[in-house]
Structure formats: structure tokens, C-alpha cells
């Protein structure tokens, strides 16, 4: 049985003058560093490796050290009464500053808990789900930013409109947060509006069973403020456990309290009408014209309406100007029809997400040959969903499967890309190493290429584009 909502008894970061980050060079950590700087706090931190990002943070006022010693920690940040420490688990426990902070009585929290603090002090719009949360949250943030309301947004991808995963407002009461279910991080949040896009089972290495995964989402709904709202995609297995006072609504492309009507596609564009309780916005054009973004746009617009901040004209213009997040249907090459190459990069790494991505590309280019290059992500996910991945990939005309990207996991005996490869029904399929990716594609007569997965295959796409120009 999950616990009902109660105000979390945790400190507010704003009671401190100094915030110290252990693992300061991560993109998620950088967003928090910039946020606290904008609030007038002193920010410092440690990271093992210099990067373009850490150099930029230093220019903006973050005191960053690459020296794993207490000598590198500024004197002002050594007082536990005046310093909050935020860390990433990627930093080993033996790290000298982290050891000092642990032994010195400092308040030490993870990034998720810091986001939780921000949500408790704002009207937080939190997007959760197996897939779709990066796009829907960044769309929502872009709509609010383009309107009068504004927002502070902490996104899971770099929004191409701003070349950043952070939006700031000194006056807005809203925060937009991508709510990550991976290690139950979203249980740290206190949503004013919670949006759940999908609950297809994932991260079974953490949760074990689909039931436990769904229970985690159910618990997330108990954290919604008593005066809050819950927006659910239709057809989810999830049974929410939000307080009775929470306003629960539904959405999807075709049905629900919020939905699309009169969808028109052609000549590389998609238009639709957005229907919401009490009104509609006609002839909205998608800035990133893929079928899956109709659902995503409906969710983003619905969240703004639930917040009382839907400005029809401004919202329609924002959806049209939305350029997408990096690696979410990002076009690397778009040559002229009928024979030009098209290369699309997409983060899809779950079978349901991959299937929808393939269907979206099919809808855009119905008469052309579709090649899907897929890099499986995680041994456990490959083991758990090999059949489903193979079924999704079998929708393509040609499949190129690369070696598995292990990320955080150690190898599992008998698990490799080959267990997916053997189940793919296509006659045109190839299993290669990622190092052979560019040469393989360069020498094949592909037309439309969808490169998918959460690994590092995207790093090879600029090289492929260059090779095609030679």
C-alpha cells in the first residue's frame, strides 16, 4: 500500500548560501548549478575531467576544481551550517571531498532530491513515463517560455531551440521537470501537475516485475499536491492512487479529455486541431512533423491548460517553432526527394518506443525503403525484451544491428545483440560492430536511415553524413 501525500520534511536549498556539487560536470548537475547561480547562491564543485561544459560553467561563476583533495574545496564551502552538498552516485565513495562532507555533518543529497526541493517550492509540472517524457516536457517548457507565464525547466535532453536543457525565469511560479523512474528518483518530487505518458514495463533490472514497476508509478501519483492535477495517457495499465481532491484527466491522439482531431499530413508537414474541455485550437502545425509528436503535443498543450496558462495563439506558434530535443527525431541529413538520403537519429531504446518511431518514419516516407540501424542498450533490457525488439525491427525493410551498449551493466552470459538478430524476420539484416557502421552504410544503397538506441551510435552519424558527400 502506498502512502498518501504529505509535505516532505526536507530542507530548502535556499536556506544555504553555498551549494557544493560533487560530480559537477554532468549535464543534469550543470542545470542545477546554473539555477542556483541565478538565485544568487555561491556555487562550487569538483569533477574528475575538464570539459567544454565545465569550462563554460567556470566562466558563468561556478568555482570548479579537478583536484580530488580538500585543498581544492574553497574555505567558504567547509561550514556544514552554510553549505548544502549535492552529489552524483557516479562519483566513488572514496572521493576525498565527499568523505570529508560525510564525516563533517553536512547535509548531502542526490540530484533527484535537489529537484524535489525545487518542486516543493513551485508549481511543478512533472512528466513521467517509459517514453515520451523528454519531448513532452520540453514542448511544455517551450510553450510556457513563449507565453506570458514562463518557467524554470529541468529537461532530460538538450532543447535545440535554446541549446540547453535549462530554462530560467526569475518570476514564474512554474517548474517543468522530467521525472525519471529509473531508480525511483521521481519519488522525490512533489508535482502540482503530473503527466504520465506510458507505463510499458522497463528497468526490470531494478524493479524485477511489471507489477513492481506499475506500483512505483502508482506511488508517484500519491505525491501530487492535494490541489493538484493528474494527466494520464488513455489505455494505461496503471491504477492511480492520487488523493481524492486531485483532478484526474486523460489524453491521447484520438480520445480522452484532451485529443487531436482533423489530422492532416503531406509534403513533409503535419497539422491537427487540439480539442480540450471547453474549447479547441484549430490548424496547429508540428515543428517536428512526425506522427508520434501528435500525442506529445496534445500532452504538452493539455498540461498548460491544466495549469491555467494556455494562450491559444502563442501555444500554436510555440508548437510550430519547436525544434525538438537532441536525439529525439533529429534529422542529420534531409536531401531532396525523390532519391536523396535521409538520416534520422532517435533515442528510442524500448520496444514500444522503437515500434512507434519506425511507424512515424513510415508515415513520413511511405514509398521509400526504410533501413533501421539499432544499437541495443543494456544486457538486462536486451534479455527481457528480445522478442519485442525483434518484432518492432521486423517492420523495417532492412535492419542493421550493432553490438550491444552495456552502459552501467556487467555482461550477462548468453546475452548479446545476436539474440535479437536471430529473431528478426527480415531477409535483409546485418549484424556488425559499431566501428564498421560508417563504412557499411556508405557502401549500401540506403534511402531512409533511422538510427535508434540510447547508446553512442549517434556519434557516428556526422561521420556518415560527411562520407556521403565524398
- Segment 135-150, tens digit of pLDDT: 999 999 999 999 999 9
State the pLDDT at residue 45. 95
At residue 8, does pLDDT exceed 60? no
303 burial class (0-12, 13-18, 19+ CB within 10 angstroms)? buried
| Paired sense of beta strands 398-402 and 370-374, if any | parallel
79-133 pLDDT tens trace? 999 999 999 877 888 889 899 999 999 999 988 899 999 999 999 999 998 888 8
Extents of the domains making up the chain: 13-111, 122-321, 330-469
At residue 297, does pLDDT exceed 50? yes
pLDDT band at 202 (very low <50, low <70, confident <90, very high): low
Record: fold of 122-321: 3.40.1190
70/20 Cα distance (integer angstroms): 13
207/182 Cα distance (integer angstroms): 9
pLDDT band at 203 (very low <50, low <70, confident <90, very high): low
Record: fold of 330-469: 3.90.190
At residue 253, does pLDDT exceed 80? yes
pLDDT band at 204 (very low <50, low <70, confident <90, very high): low
State the pLDDT at residue 409. 81
426 burial class (0-12, 13-18, 19+ CB within 10 angstroms)? middle
311 or 347, which is more confident:
311
For 131, list phi and psi in degrees, rounded to 5.
Answer: -150, 160
Rg value, the chain, Cα? 23
CATH H superfamily, domain 13-111: NAD(P)-binding Rossmann-like Domain (3.40.50.720)
- Taking residues 339-361, what's their average pLDDT? 87
- Name the CA dihedral angle for 126, 22, 60, 175, rounded to a multiple of 10 degrees: 10
Are 345 and 451 spatial neighbours (Cβ–Cβ below 8 Å)?
Answer: yes
Q: Which of 379, 400, 388 is nearest to 351 (CA)?
A: 388
- Taking residues 274-296, what's their average pLDDT? 94
State the pLDDT at residue 162. 93
pLDDT over 70 for what percent of the chain? 95
At residue 10, does pLDDT exceed 60? no
**Which residues have CB under 8 Å from 221's CB, separation 6+?**
194, 196, 230, 238, 240, 241, 242, 246
Average confidence score pLDDT of the chain: 90
pLDDT band at 11 (very low <50, low <70, confident <90, very high): low
pLDDT over 90 for what percent of the chain? 64
24-68 pLDDT tens trace? 988 889 999 999 999 999 999 999 889 888 999 999 999 999 998
Amino acid at each position: 500500500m502506498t502512502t498518501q501525500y504529505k509535505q516532505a520534511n526536507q530542507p530548502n536549498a535556499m536556506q544555504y548560501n553555498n551549494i557544493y556539487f560533487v560530480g559537477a560536470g554532468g549535464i543534469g548537475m550543470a542545470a542545477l548549478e546554473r539555477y542556483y547561480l541565478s538565485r544568487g547562491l555561491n556555487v562550487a564543485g569538483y569533477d574528475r575531467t575538464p570539459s567544454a561544459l565545465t569550462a563554460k560553467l567556470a566562466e558563468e561563476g561556478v568555482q570548479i576544481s579537478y583536484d580530488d583533495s580538500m585543498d581544492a574545496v574553497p574555505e567558504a564551502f567547509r561550514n556544514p551550517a552554510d553549505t548544502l552538498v549535492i552529489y552524483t552516485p557516479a562519483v566513488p565513495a572514496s572521493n576525498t571531498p565527499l568523505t570529508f562532507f560525510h564525516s563533517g555533518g553536512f547535509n548531502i543529497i542526490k540530484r533527484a532530491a535537489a529537484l524535489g526541493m525545487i518542486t516543493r517550492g513551485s508549481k511543478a509540472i512533472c512528466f513521467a513515463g517509459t517514453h515520451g517524457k523528454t519531448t513532452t516536457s520540453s514542448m511544455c517548457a517551450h510553450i510556457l517560455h513563449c507565453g506570458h507565464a514562463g518557467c524554470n525547466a529541468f529537461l532530460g535532453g538538450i532543447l535545440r531551440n535554446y541549446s540547453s536543457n535549462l530554462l530560467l525565469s526569475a518570476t514564474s511560479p512554474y517548474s517543468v521537470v522530467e521525472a525519471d523512474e529509473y531508480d525511483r528518483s521521481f519519488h522525490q518530487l512533489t508535482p502540482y501537475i503530473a503527466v504520465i505518458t506510458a507505463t510499458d514495463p522497463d528497468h526490470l533490472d531494478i524493479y524485477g516485475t511489471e507489477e513492481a514497476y506499475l506500483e512505483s508509478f502508482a506511488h508517484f501519483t500519491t505525491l501530487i499536491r492535494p490541489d493538484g492535477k493528474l494527466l494520464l495517457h488513455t489505455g494505461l495499465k496503471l491504477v492511480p492512487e492520487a488523493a481524492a481532491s486531485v483532478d484526474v484527466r486523460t489524453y491521447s491522439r484520438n480520445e480522452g479529455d484532451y485529443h487531436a482531431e482533423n489530422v492532416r499530413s503531406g509534403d513533409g508537414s503535419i497539422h491537427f486541431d487540439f480539442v480540450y474541455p471547453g474549447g479547441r485550437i484549430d490548424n496547429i502545425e508540428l515543428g517536428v512533423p512526425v506522427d508520434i509528436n501528435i500525442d506529445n503535443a496534445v500532452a504538452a498543450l493539455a498540461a498548460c491548460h491544466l495549469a491555467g496558462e494556455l494562450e491559444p495563439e502563442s501555444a500554436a506558434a510555440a508548437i510550430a517553432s519547436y525544434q525538438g530535443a537532441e536525439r529525439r527525431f533529429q534529422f542529420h541529413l534531409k536531401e531532396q526527394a525523390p532519391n536523396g538520403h535521409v538520416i534520422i537519429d532517435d533515442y528510442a531504446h524500448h520496444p514500444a518506443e522503437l515500434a512507434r518511431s519506425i511507424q512515424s518514419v513510415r508515415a513520413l516516407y511511405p514509398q521509400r525503403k526504410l533501413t533501421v540501424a539499432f544499437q541495443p542498450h543494456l544486457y538486462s533490457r536486451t534479455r527481457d525484451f528480445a522478442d519485442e525488439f525483434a518484432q518492432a525491427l521486423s517492420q523495417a525493410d532492412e535492419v542493421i544491428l550493432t553490438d550491444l551498449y552495456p552502459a552501467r551493466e556487467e555482461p550477462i552470459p548468453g546475452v548479446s545483440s545476436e539474440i535479437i538478430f536471430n529473431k528478426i524476420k527480415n531477409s535483409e539484416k546485418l549484424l556488425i560492430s559499431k566501428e564498421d557502421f560508417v563504412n557499411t552504410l556508405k557502401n549500401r544503397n540506403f534511402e531512409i536511415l533511422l538510427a535508434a538506441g540510447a547508446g553512442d551510435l549517434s556519434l557516428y552519424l556526422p561521420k556518415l553524413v560527411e562520407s556521403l558527400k565524398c
